[in-house]
A and B are shown apart, each in its own frame.
Chain A
Amino acid sequence: MFPVLCLIPGLVLVAVFVAYPVLESVHVSFGSWDGVGAVVFRGVQNYVRLVSDGVFGSSLVTSLEFFLLVTAFTVAIAVLLANAISRGVPGGGFFRVVWFLPVIVPTTVSGVFWASAFQPTTGIVNTLLGAVGLGSAHAWLAEGSTVLYCVAFAAIWTQAGYAMLLLLGAMETIPPEVHEAAELDGVGPVARLFRITLPIILPMLGTVTVLMAVFSFNAFGIVYAMTQGGPGNASAILPVLVYKESFLQQDYGYGSATAVVTCLVVGAIGIAVLRLFRRQAMEA
Chain B
Amino acid sequence: MPTIRYRRAALVGALAVTVACGLAACGTGTQGTGSATEGTVRVQTATGPTADAMKRVADDFEKANPGVTVELESLDANASRSPNAALLSSSTAPDVGYLQRSTGVWSTLIKNHELLSLDDVWKASKLADKYAQSQVDYYTTDGHHYGVLYDELLINPVYYNVDAFTKAGIARPKDHRFASVAELEEAAAKLKSIGMGGLGVGGSSPFGLGHTLDALLPTAVSADDYATMLTNFRPGAPGGDVTYTQPGVVKMLQLMRDWETKGLYQDGMLGMDDSKAAALFTGGSIGMVQGGTYSWANISAAKPSFAIDWALMPSLTPGRTTPFDAFNGDTLVVPKHATHPELAKKFIEFFMTDKYQSTVIPESGSLPVFQNLDASKLTGLGKPVRQMLEASARDGVVNIWDSTVPTSLGQAFSVPVLQQVVAGTITPEQGAQKFQDALEALRSGKAPSDTD
* Interface locus among A63-71, A89-97, A229-237: A229-237
Residues on A with C-beta less than 8 A from B425 are 144, 231-232, 234
A37 within 8 A of B: yes
User: For the complex, is A227 an interface residue (Cβ under 8 Å from B)?
Assistant: yes
Selected contact of A231 from candidates B23, B78, B203, B267, CB within 8 Å? B203
Q: Are B267 and A121 in contact (CB-based, < 8 A)?
A: yes
A12-B15, A140-B271, A232-B425 known; A247+B420 contact, CB < 8 A: no
Chain A CB within 10 Å, residue with most, of B23, B203, B271? B271
B197 CB–A CB distance under 8 Å: yes
Given contacts A35-B86, A248-B81, contact A120 B267 (CB under 8 A): yes
Count of interface residues, chain A, beta-carbon cutoff 8 Å: 40
Q: What residue in chain A is nearest B88 (Cβ atoms)?
A: A36
- Whether the Cβ atoms of B416 and A119 lie closer than 8 Å is no
Q: How far is the CA of A32 from the CA of B448 in the complex (A)?
A: 10
Q: Does A280 contact B (CB under 8 A)?
A: no
Contacts of A251 in B (CB 8 A): 408
* Inter-subunit contact A34/B197 (CB<8 Å): no
> How far is A143 from B423 in the complex, measured between Cα atoms in Å?
7
Complex contact A250–B204 (CB within 8 A): no
Cα–Cα, bound, A217→B421 (Å): 27
Q: Once the chains are docked, how many angstroms separate the CA of A16 from the CA of B270?
A: 41
Q: Cβ of A34 and Cβ of B204 under 8 Å apart?
A: no
- A1 proximal to B (CB < 8 A): yes
Given contacts A1-B8, A9-B15, A141-B271, A247 and B112 within 8 Å (CB-CB): no
In the bound complex, CA of A121 to CA of B195 (Å): 12
A108: interface (CB < 8 Å): no
Cα distance A233–B425 when bound, in Å?
10
Contact A139 B271 (CB under 8 A): yes
Considering the chains assembled together, what is the distance between the CA atoms of A8 and B14 in angstroms?
12
Least Cβ–Cβ distance between B53 and chain A, in angstroms: 27
Bound Cα distance A35, B107 (Å): 11
Q: Is A119's CB under 8 angstroms from B420's CB?
A: no
Tell me which of A12, A16, A249 has the highest count of chain B C-beta atoms within 10 A of its own C-beta.
A249
Q: Which of A120, A142, A147, A248 contacts B206 (CB 8 A)?
A: A248
Contact B203 A35 (CB under 8 A): no
Whether A246 sits at the interface, judged by CB under 8 Å, is yes
- Tell me the bound Cα distance from A35 to B106 in angstroms: 12
Q: Are A36 and B86 touching (Cβ within 8 A)?
A: yes
Q: Which of B108, B203, B266, B413 contacts A34 (CB 8 A)?
A: B108
Question: Do A248 and B412 have beta carbons less than 8 Å apart?
Answer: yes
Majority secondary structure of chain B interface residues (helix, strand, loop or mixed): helix
Question: Are A34 and B271 in touch, CB under 8 angstroms?
Answer: no
B379 to chain A, nearest CB (A): 36
With both chains docked as a complex, state the minimum distance between the C-beta of A8 and any C-beta of chain B, in angstroms.
6
| A231-B422 contact, Cβ under 8 Å, with A8-B15, A119-B268, A250-B85 | yes
Give Cα A231–Cα B270 distance, bound, in whole angstroms: 6
Chain A hits for B108, CB < 8 A:
34-36, 250
Structural contact, B423 and A231, CB atoms closer than 8 A:
yes
Q: A142-B269, A249-B408 are in contact. Are A37 and B204 (CB under 8 A)?
A: no
Task: Write out, one digit per residue, whether chain A residues 240-264 have a CB within 8 A of any chain B CB (1) or not (0).
Answer: 0000101111110000000000000
Whether A121 pairs with B268 at a CB distance below 8 angstroms is yes
Closest to A115 in B: B271
- B391 close to chain A: CB less than 8 A: no
Complex Cα–Cα for A1 and B112 (A): 48
Contact with A along B75-114 (1 / 0, CB 8 A): 0001001110110010000000000000010001101101
**Cross-chain contact of B81 among A144, A228, A230, A247 (Cβ < 8 A):** A247
Contact residue among A122, A231, A250 (Cβ-Cβ distance under 8 Å from B419) = A231
Partner of A35 from B82, B267, B276 at Cβ < 8 Å: B82
CB-CB < 8 A to A5: which residues of B?
8, 11
Contact A231 B19 (CB under 8 A): no
In this complex, what residue of B is CB-closest to A252? B82
Query: Is A137 an interface position by the 8 A CB rule?
Result: yes
Give the shortest distance, in Å, between A148 (CB) and chain B (any CB): 12
> CA separation between A12 and B23, bound complex, in Å?
11
| Of A120, A231, A251, most B-chain CB atoms within 10 Å | A231
Known: A36-B109, A231-B419. 15 other contacts (CB 8 A): A5-B11, A8-B15, A12-B19, A35-B89, A36-B108, A37-B111, A139-B267, A142-B204, A142-B272, A231-B422, A232-B419, A232-B425, A246-B82, A248-B407, A250-B104
- A–B complex contacts, Cβ < 8 Å, 19 sampled: A8-B15, A16-B23, A34-B85, A34-B108, A34-B111, A119-B276, A122-B280, A139-B270, A140-B268, A142-B267, A142-B269, A143-B423, A231-B271, A232-B419, A234-B423, A248-B82, A248-B412, A249-B412, A251-B408
3 closest A-B pairs (Cβ-Cβ)? A141-B271, A232-B420, A139-B268
